[in-house]
Amino acid sequence: MISDIQKKKVVHFFELLDSHKNEHLQADDFSEIAERIRLGLGYEAGGEKHVFLAKKTAKFFHTLLNAISHENKQVITKQEWIGFIDQKIVNSKDEEFKEEFEEFIIGFLFDLFDDNHDGYISTDEYVDMFVVYGIDIKYSAKAFLKLDLNKDDKLSRNELIHAFEVFLFSDDSNQPGNWIFGNWED
Ligand SMILES: [Ca+2]
Ligand SMILES: [Ca+2]
């Protein structure tokens, strides 16, 4: 079983993915993200960049649907999400699957937010993630500083994967990586 601290983070993660805040992950939560990025960055509706985002977000949801056992077609509930992270990630011995999952999530964030394609998430790109996912940006600067381990003012893939590992696995509320998706404590 995951601990209360782990569960709090897993629920925080679920709630930010649940764009429409109805306690279910559905396709429209993910198309909504593509739309918010499009509007935020001023991409043309139906243009190349919008289509790229729409495809990436739709594929992301379908990969989750395939990986997570769910009762209703095309819907992942909060309980199903918690059960998946608990059994298939945190308390699983399948190291390869865990690594794939981490790469999958962080790769997705790079697809969406590494706007200048330099292989790093800058402070601005990180703030974009907070805005798009409706995370309180009050915490973005604090989180960025905690995650930027080598203090070069950008987040590398490794820094984000490291943070995400802590976010998933650590039971220590003082670990910097817990802050990858902002304030998880309330
Ligand atoms: Ca970048
Ligand atoms: Ca860095």
**8-state DSSP, 153:** S
Cα 121 to middle of ligand 2, angstroms: 9
Crossing angle of the two packed helices 27-41 and 48-67, in degrees rounded to 10: 150
pLDDT, tens digit, 9 for 90 and up, residues 139-181: 999 999 999 999 999 999 999 999 999 999 999 999 999 999 9
| pLDDT reported for residue 105 | 98
Query: Does domain 4-179 fall into CATH 1.10.238.10?
Result: yes
Cα 110 to middle of ligand 2, angstroms: 14
Scored b (16 or more CB within 10 A) or e, 117-143 reads eeebbbeebbbbbbebbebeeebbeeb
pLDDT, tens digit, 9 for 90 and up, residues 61-84: 999 999 999 998 899 999 999 999
| pLDDT reported for residue 73 | 85
| pLDDT reported for residue 173 | 95
Which ligand has an atom closest to residue 126 CA?
1
Which ligand has an atom closest to residue 118 CA?
1
- Are the C-beta atoms of 160 and 109 separated by less than 8 Å? yes
Which positions ≥6 away from 70 have C-beta within 8 Å?
76, 77, 80
Q: How confident is the model at residue 186 (pLDDT cuts 50, 70, 90)?
A: confident
Cα 120 to middle of ligand 1, angstroms: 4
The full set of domain ranges for the chain reads: 4-179
Which ligand has an atom closest to residue 154 CA?
2
